[in-house]
Structures are given as C-alpha cells and as structure tokens.
Amino acid sequence: MASLTLLSGNSIPTVSYGWAGIDADILPARLETAIESGYRHIDGAWVYGGEKVIGDTLKKLIDEGKTKRDQLFITSKLWATHHHPCDVRPAVKKSLEDLKMDYLDLYLMHTPCAFKEPGTKDKWTPDPFAEIVPDDDVDYVDTWKMFLDAGNEETGG
C-alpha cells in the first residue's frame, strides 16, 4: 500500500483500517483479513470501544508471525471528555494498555474542543451517545501541551 513521508522522516500509510461501529464479535476476523490484505495503518479511537479487541487481535497476529509491530502504524485519539490536562496522560496510557502497545505512531485530539463529562458512566467507559455539551473551561492549547509532555514521558525523549 502507498505511504507518505512525513517531515520527521517517518512514513504513514495513505489507507487505513478503522473500526468505528463494528461489532466486537466480528472485529477480530475483519482486522485479520485487513492485515492479510496488506493494511498496515490501524486507525481507531478510545471512544469506539474496540481498543481491547484490536490489541488482543494484533497481539495474536504478531505472535503468529503474520505481522510485526514495526510494520504497523497505529493511530488513536483523545476523546473530547478527556481534554482536561490531567486526563491526557491517563488517556494515552489507557489506549496503550488496551492496544497492548509500547507506543502509538499517531495520537490526535478527536475533536477540536472539549466536552463536559456526562456524569452517567465511569470516566473511562466509552459512551459515544452521551449528550455533547462543550466545555469552555478547557483550552485546547493546554491539552496540546500535555500531549507534548505525555509523548516525552512515554518515549523517554
């Protein structure tokens, strides 16, 4: 599959496999088919609720020799209810843990603004259908600064 070279020198595949809305029961088979078909960019997000299933499936495929971690480009995203600076590092760690990865190749803010916590579920249980209420008390620049700090801590750089 085609890829683009980033200014950092790293490359990113131009086509990715995403799983938003795919039932967790059929997700492993679909991901395995995607990997066998040549997909190497796995694009997801915590809020989709499938990172544990993806992590288990990728670990299985790596253990079976069907792919290697360094052949994959893994993207995840910070959900809007986790934009408070104190939530960024735990959110990164949660995605890494669920995906069974030591690092992410790309981590994005899922939305350009923060949402208020709906208060109906555990903060770390995805609820994509929760009421969306913007949280004007969170500045995306402060969130971004924590991205840089979390990245430095996770990579040692």
Which active-site residues does the annotation give? 48
Task: Output the six-digit token pair for 105.
Answer: 């190749």
Asked if 54 contacts 79 with a C-beta cutoff of 8 angstroms, the reply is no
Is residue 77 within 8 A of residue 46, CB to CB? The reply is yes
**Which structure tokens are listed for 118?**
């709906």
Nearby residues of 48 by Cβ (< 8 Å), 6 or more positions away? 19, 20, 21, 126, 128
CA distance 12 to 16: 9
User: What is the distance in angstroms between the CA of the first residue and the CA of the last residue of the chain?
Assistant: 30
Tokens representing 8 are 């950092």
